Amino acid sequence: MSITMASLLLSGIAIMASIYATAKARDNSSRLLAIEEQRESDRLVDRSKASLSVRREKDGSSYRLYISNSGNAAAKNVEITMNGKPILEHKVIPQGEQEKKIIGPDSEVSYILAESMGKGNNPPYIIVISWDDDSDKKGRYETTVS
C-alpha cells in the first residue's frame, strides 16, 4: 500500500469520525435543550399553582383548623369538606364563621373548632380541600387531622 492510499484511508476515517462526533454532539445538544425547556415549563407551572395543607392547633382554650397555602399562586373557589360535609355545615364549626373561598400565596386562613359542644365533635377529622388556581388543573388535598 502506498503512502497516498494510506493517507486517503486515514483521511476517510478521520472524516467519518468527525461526522459521527458532530452527530453525537447535535444529539446531546437536542437532549439538553429538551431538558431545559421542560425545566422552564415546570417552573412556569409551579409559579401558577397553589399548594394547600391543613393543621389543627391549640389557640388558648380552644382549637383552630388552619388551611395554609405554601404555593406561589392564590387558591380560588376553595371548597372544604370535613367528615364528608361542607365545612360550615359540620357541627364543630360555630355559626357565624365565614367561608374562605380565596387563600392567597404564602398565607393561611383559619376556622374555630368548637369541639366541646357535644359528643362526636372531637378529632379525627377527614379533611378534603379542592381549589382552582392559575395552572388550569383542579387542586386537591386530603388528610386526616387529629
Label residue 110 left, alpha or beta by phi (over 0 means left) and psi (-120 to 50 means alpha). Answer: beta
DSSP secondary structure code for residue 88 in this structure: G
Confidence bin at 76 (pLDDT 50/70/90): very high
Beta-bridge partner residues of 81: 86, 128
How far is CA 108 from each of CA 70, 78, 100, rounded to the nearest angstrom?
9, 12, 10
Do 122 and 93 share a structural domain? yes
| pLDDT tens-place string over residues 84-116 | 999 999 999 999 999 999 999 999 999 999 887
Do 123 and 59 share a structural domain? yes
Do 116 and 93 share a structural domain? yes
CB-CB contact of 113 with 65 (8 Å): yes
pLDDT score for 10:
79
Q: What is the identity of the amino acid at 130?
A: S
Do 73 and 29 share a structural domain? no
Cell of 24: 453525537
Range of the structural domain that residue 14 is part of: 1-47
How far is CA 145 from each of CA 4, 45, 60, 129, 138, rounded to the nearest angstrom?
83, 29, 19, 13, 22
Tell me: pLDDT of 1 over 80: no
pTM across the whole model: 0.71
Do 58 and 15 share a structural domain? no
Do 56 and 39 share a structural domain? no
pLDDT score for 124:
92
CATH code of 138's domain = 2.60.40
Do 7 and 74 share a structural domain? no
Do 75 and 16 share a structural domain? no
Do 31 and 87 share a structural domain? no
Q: What percent of the chain has pLDDT over 70?
A: 93
Q: Count structural domains, the chain.
A: 2
Do 122 and 81 share a structural domain? yes
